Amino acid sequence: MELLLRLLKPIFLPLLKLDLTAPHLPEGTSLVRSLKPSEQWLAYRYLQTLFGFLNQFIGVGIGVIALVAKFRGWGLLIALGVFAVEGFLIGLALVTTRVDFELRHYLVGDRSLRVAQGAWKREEVTLSYANVQNIEVNQGPLERLFGFKSLTISTAGADTTPGAENSHLVTMVGLQDADELRSLILGMLKQQRDTGLGETGAAHPNATGLSLARLNEVKAAALALRDAARSVAC
């Protein structure tokens, strides 16, 4: 399979017109871990692609038999043409599946994560940990059979309806260590929020617009004035 796809790839790759530039995290974010889907996920996608053509191939086969039976020589030529088109479509689908695997990158940073995916439709989404609301590990029966899981991360405003497209939700598919990755992201999320709370208390003024140190100075001055007033009164 891989040898065949390496031979077909130079033929079909120009048709996809892809940007092969590697993704990167936003400026100021340090890379903690870089991941890709597992080889088991790629095998699952190959089978999924081939099964998608199964019904179509059966229908084409029945039609070809009917053509050959009716038109004989001409029917055979038409059948060869139909099979050539069908083979082209299957080859394109398999190459696209392989390229989609190669172009999937999951970059986990200390402040945010970036997911780049897609061959026909290229998609790159960056989620800041400050906005993350939910992290879920998912594994269906087929995923369990092939030995991988998916990690879904959503932020405020995410539409979790199946098939919905939005920039508030990303799914990292084909992971063998999804639970470990979830714990890693939760740890960085907690660390960032704890750090943010500490910085808020030290750097931001209170509701009156004065810092705590300035309020203490004002309080000390007020007490000094009160004591001085009492001394004069006595």
Q: For residues 32 and 109, is the Cβ–Cβ distance under 8 A?
A: yes
* pLDDT the model gives residue 156: 73
Q: Which residue has the tokens 């989609």?
A: 100
* pLDDT the model gives residue 210: 47
What does the alpha-carbon distance between residue 98 and residue 185 come to, in Å, rounded to a whole number?
Answer: 28
Angle between helical axes of 73-102 and 2-16 (0-180°, round to 10): 90
Q: 10 Å Cβ neighbour count for 182? A: 19
What does the alpha-carbon distance between residue 36 and residue 105 come to, in Å, rounded to a whole number?
Answer: 5
- As given in the structure block, the two tokens for residue 150 are 């998916």
- As given in the structure block, the two tokens for residue 95 are 């190459």
Nearest partner of 53 among 76, 78, 83, 18, judged by Cα: 83
pTM for this one?
Answer: 0.69
pLDDT in tens, 145-179: 999 999 999 887 655 554 545 557 899 999 999 99
* pLDDT the model gives residue 24: 86
Flag residues of the chain having pLDDT under 70. Answer: 1-9, 11-13, 15-16, 18-20, 157-167, 196-220, 222-234
- What amino acid occupies position 81? G
* pLDDT the model gives residue 206: 46
* pLDDT the model gives residue 191: 81
What does the alpha-carbon distance between residue 231 and residue 174 come to, in Å, rounded to a whole number?
Answer: 79
* pLDDT the model gives residue 200: 41
What does the alpha-carbon distance between residue 120 and residue 96 come to, in Å, rounded to a whole number?
Answer: 8
Instruction: Give me the sheet containing 149-155, strands edge to edge.
Output: 132-138, 149-155, 169-175
What does the alpha-carbon distance between residue 228 and residue 232 come to, in Å, rounded to a whole number?
Answer: 6
Q: For residues 172 and 106, is the Cβ–Cβ distance under 8 A?
A: yes
